Amino acid sequence: MNGATATDRVARTRLYRGGQLAKEDFPVDDISDYLDEPDTVLWVDLCAPDRKDLAVVADELGLHALAVEDAIQPKQRPKLDRYETHEFMSLYGVHLDHDSGNLRLSELSAFITSRVLVTVRKDESFDMDGVLARWDGSPDLAKNGVGFLLWGLIDHVVDGHFDAVQTLDEEIEELEDLLFDDQPRDKDVQRRSFALRKSLVTLRRVVLPMREVVNTLMRRDIEVVPEQMAPYFQDVYDHVLRATEWTESLRDLVSTIVETNLTLQGNRLNIITKKVTSWAAIIAVPTAITGFYGQNLPYPGFAKTSGLVVSCLLIVVVSSGLYVAFKRKDWL
């Protein structure tokens, strides 16, 4: 080729020959030439491609128009669709912001043929370097072709899900400590609880369908996963199940924390109400007594020192009696 096309500028490519990495970053237009060679497997990655960019790959591999449309359109649900010459997979990488508790999704699509894996990212947020590191860390499995590439991709994605769930679990433990802090922090607990619950709902939407995706890939009639890679996909499937169950339990736990926080607020309000009522009752005693002795009518001790002494004693005795009674009932 005389110059790089628009597709080449957004694409990353790899060629495996005989289970060994033989070439990287070659032009997308050369895909069909390499497929003519025996024992070759290719990976093509497109980041934020337009229709023209994806059309080049689609023409080279004969991809179905509906699958190409799904790869371009955003917000697809995690799924695995089967076509005559290939499979189409949609999945999401996740990243949890520790400070805000918000979950960020990175959408990824993949076309799976017998000798080519094409990944399509909506933007740069998906950590494709982590996938490459997974492949390079297991060179002995590269002989398993597309099944090996697919395992590295899904394993990286599922590990990201698992890490997000684990981080959310740690966040919830911190929230529990905050819930029973000596200094009530109701606003912080409420804000954090709703942020974590929102993240868990979002995570559940991308984790739960992965069970069906991985389970379908492992079916023998699809012939995507080689026999040698079956234990590795089974391990990924176990991680998917654990992440799903963990997500469900954490969602219930956050709901419990929200309810507990509301209960604690109600209990604190009851305690405050009892204290205010008790002090109001105590303060009413001297008010009543001084009001009685402030009359301008004759009464026992009127205009005498004994009247003052009796009124003061009544205030002290009755107020003290009320204070002791409320204290025993733990109202003060």
The DSSP-derived string for 305-325 is HHHHHHHHHHHHHHHHHHHHH
Structural domains of the chain in order of their starting residue, each with its CATH number = 6-265 (3.30.460.20), 275-328 (no CATH)
**Mean pLDDT of the region 173-188:** 73
Indicate whether this model's pTM tops 0.95.
Answer: no
Rounded to a whole number, what is the distance in angstroms from the first to the last CA of the chain?
Answer: 87
- Examine the pLDDT at 3 and tell me if it is beyond 50: no
pLDDT tens, position by position, 42-51: 999 998 888 8
Q: Which pLDDT score is estimated for 1?
A: 38
- Examine the pLDDT at 293 and tell me if it is beyond 70: no
More confident residue, 298 or 83: 83
The mean predicted confidence, pLDDT, of the chain is 84
Q: Which pLDDT score is estimated for 261?
A: 73
More confident residue, 292 or 282: 282
The CB density around residue 310, as the number of other CB atoms within 10 Å, is 15
Return the C-alpha torsion angle 30, 7, 104, 130, nearest 10: 30
The C-alpha atoms of residue 329 and residue 37 are separated, in whole angstroms, by 89
Return the C-alpha torsion angle 93, 234, 43, 156, nearest 10: 30
Lowest mean pLDDT among 94-98, 148-152, 204-208, 287-291: 287-291
2 — pLDDT class (breaks 50, 70, 90): very low
Q: Which pLDDT score is estimated for 231?
A: 93
The C-alpha atoms of residue 116 and residue 246 are separated, in whole angstroms, by 34
Q: Which pLDDT score is estimated for 6?
A: 47
Could you tell me what percent of the chain has a pLDDT over 90? 34
Q: Which pLDDT score is estimated for 44?
A: 93
The CB density around residue 41, as the number of other CB atoms within 10 Å, is 26
Q: Which pLDDT score is estimated for 307?
A: 72
Do residues 243 and 162 lie in contact, with contact meaning Cβ atoms separated by under 8 Å? Answer: yes
- Examine the pLDDT at 324 and tell me if it is beyond 60: yes
14 — pLDDT class (breaks 50, 70, 90): very high
pLDDT tens, position by position, 83-139: 988 999 999 999 887 776 678 899 999 999 989 999 999 888 898 999 999 999 999
